[in-house]
Chains A and B, each alone.
Chain A
Amino acid sequence: MSKAAILCVDDEIAILKSLEIELEQAFEDTYIYELAESADEALEILEELDEEEIKILIIVSDWLMPGMKGDEFLIQVHQKYPHIVKLMLTGQAKEEAIERAKKQANLYDCLHKPWTTEELIKTIKTALAQSLKV
C-alpha cells in the first residue's frame, strides 16, 4: 500500500491541529497528515517517510519559527526533494524571504495568516493538480 502524505510545519501546535482538521475534512483519508513543530523535526519526518517509502506531495510551512526559518527549510528540502510542492503559510514573512524561497525552493505560493479553509484547500488542490501533470 503506497500512500502519499501532506506535511505541515509550524511552531504553534494550535495552528498544526487546525490545519490537520481542515485537511482531514477536505481530503479524508486520501492522504496521511504529518505535523512538525520545527524545521528540524520536519526534516526528520521527511527522512522517516522516505525510508517507509511514503511519498510526500506537499509541504505547508510557517516562516517565523525558532531555529530554522521557513525559507531556509524549504530551500533545503528542495535540494533533496525537488518534486515536493512547497507552500508557505505565514503571518510575517519578509518579502525577501518569500522571494528567496520562490527562486531557490520553487515555492508554489505564500498564504497569509489568518487564512481561510477555502483558500488553503483550493491552493493545495490546484498545486497538486499541476504537479501531477508535470
Chain B
Amino acid sequence: MLEKLTQKDNHLSTRETRKIKKNLIKQLELHQIEKSEAIANLLVSIGITENIEEFLGLIKDPYGEEILKVADQFAKVQSSTRTIATASEKAAKVVFALRTYARYDLSEEKVKAHIPEGIETVLILYHNLLKRGVEVIKNYAPDLPAILCYPDELNQVWTNLVHNGIQAMGDSGTLTIEVSKQDYWIQVKIRDTGKGIDPEIIPKIFQPFFTTKVAGEGSGLGLNIVKKIIDKHQGKIEVQSLPGNTIFTVSLPIAASNTTISNHEK
C-alpha cells in the first residue's frame, strides 16, 4: 500500500475519479463491505484504483478504516506538497516572464536573440486570458537562427499583436503563431479567427491614434508602435484580413542587422 501511496503521480481527472469510485463501491459491495462509499473514497485518495483483492484483508479488519485514514493522511501530505511545488513553479514562471518583459535595454545596441523565446514570454503573461477559450497553436521551425535585434522592443510587438488577436476573437477561437525562416528573413505569422478587420480601415490601422475601440479604451497607439519598432529593425509588417481569418505577418532580416553591429565593433 505504501508503494501505491508513494508512486501516485498520475493526475486523474475528476471524471475518471468518479468512475473509479463507482467501480470500487460496486466491488466493495460484492464483498459485502459496509460503508463502501467511505472506504472507496479513502482508497481512491490513497491511489488504489483497482484490484482491491490484495487489500481486502486490511479493509475487513476492524481497524481497517482507521488504518486507511492514516494512510490517506500521508497521501494528502504528499499531494499537497506536490500542489505547493506546482504552484510555486507557476509563480516563478510568471515572475521570470515579467522580469524579462520589464527589462528595458537602454544601451541601444542590438543583441542576439531567438524570436520564439520572446513570443513565449508574452504567451506566459497572457496565459490567463488565453485559457478562457482560446486555443493556441504554436508552430516554430526547428533550428531558427538567433538574430540581432532589440528583444525588449520586439516583445512589445508580440504583446500588441497577441493582445489584438485575443480581443478580436472575444471569448473563443484559435490563435496560431508560426515562426519560420524565409530566405534572409525570420517570418512571424500571428493568425486569429476573430471578426476580422474592415477592408476600408486596413490602410489606417498603423496610423497613430487610429482606434476602433470606444473612447478611453484604446490609445490607438499599439499598432503604430509596432510599426515603428519593426521599421527600426528594417523589417516589414503585413496584414491580411477576412472575417475568421486575420494574419499579421512580421518579417525581420536575419543578416541586415549584422552590418550595423560590425560597424559598431569597428
A residues sitting closer than 8 Å to B (CB atoms) are 11, 13-14, 16-18, 21, 29, 32, 34-37, 41, 45, 64-67, 92
For B38, what are the chain A residues with a Cβ–Cβ distance below 8 Å?
29
Going nearest first, the 9 A-B pairs with the smallest beta carbon separation are: A14-B83, A35-B14, A37-B14, A66-B133, A36-B14, A29-B38, A66-B131, A21-B76, A41-B15
The answer, among A16, A21, A45, A92, for a CB contact under 8 Å with B128, is A92
Q: Contact between B80 and A16 (Cβ–Cβ < 8 Å)?
A: no
Given the known inter-chain contacts A14-B87, A17-B79, please indicate yes or no for A37 contacting B15, CB distance below 8 A.
yes
Count of A-B contacts with CB under 8 A? 36
**What separation, in Å, do the CA atoms of A92 and B131 have in the docked complex?**
13
Q: Contact between A35 and B17 (Cβ–Cβ < 8 Å)?
A: yes
Min Cβ gap B48→A in Å is 17
Min Cβ gap B4→A in Å is 18
For B228, what are the chain A residues with a Cβ–Cβ distance below 8 Å?
none
The residue in B79, B83, B87, B128 that gathers the most chain A C-beta atoms within 10 A of its C-beta is B83
Given contact pairs A41-B14, A65-B132, enumerate 12 new A-B contacts (beta carbons under 8 Å). Answer: A13-B11, A13-B13, A13-B14, A17-B79, A17-B80, A17-B83, A18-B80, A35-B14, A36-B14, A45-B18, A64-B132, A66-B131
Q: Contact between A67 and B133 (Cβ–Cβ < 8 Å)?
A: yes
Identity of the chain A residue whose Cβ is nearest the Cβ of B17 in the assembled complex: A35
For B80, what are the chain A residues with a Cβ–Cβ distance below 8 Å?
17-18, 21
The 21 sampled A-B contact pairs (Cβ below 8 Å) are: A11-B131, A13-B13, A13-B14, A14-B83, A14-B87, A17-B79, A18-B80, A21-B76, A21-B80, A29-B38, A32-B37, A34-B18, A35-B17, A37-B13, A37-B15, A41-B14, A41-B15, A64-B131, A66-B131, A66-B133, A92-B128
Tell me if B164 counts as interface (CB < 8 A to partner A). Answer: no
Give the residues from 83 to 116 in chain B that come closer than 8 angstroms, CB to CB, to chain A.
83, 86-87
Interface residues on B, range: 10 to 19
The answer, among B14, B86, B87, B132, for a CB contact under 8 Å with A66, is B132
Interface majority SS on B: helix, strand, loop or mixed? Answer: helix
**What separation, in Å, do the CA atoms of A36 and B14 have in the docked complex?**
6
Identity of the chain A residue whose Cβ is nearest the Cβ of B86 in the assembled complex: A14
**What separation, in Å, do the CA atoms of A13 and B38 have in the docked complex?**
21
For B86, what are the chain A residues with a Cβ–Cβ distance below 8 Å?
14
Write the B34-67 contact mask toward A (1 if CB under 8 angstroms, else 0): 0001100000000000000000000000000000
For B131, what are the chain A residues with a Cβ–Cβ distance below 8 Å?
11, 64, 66
**What separation, in Å, do the CA atoms of A17 and B13 have in the docked complex?**
11
For B37, what are the chain A residues with a Cβ–Cβ distance below 8 Å?
32
Identity of the chain A residue whose Cβ is nearest the Cβ of B135 in the assembled complex: A66
Give the residues from 15 to 34 in chain B that come closer than 8 angstroms, CB to CB, to chain A.
15, 17-18
The residue in B15, B79, B87 that gathers the most chain A C-beta atoms within 10 A of its C-beta is B15
**What separation, in Å, do the CA atoms of A18 and B77 have in the docked complex?**
11
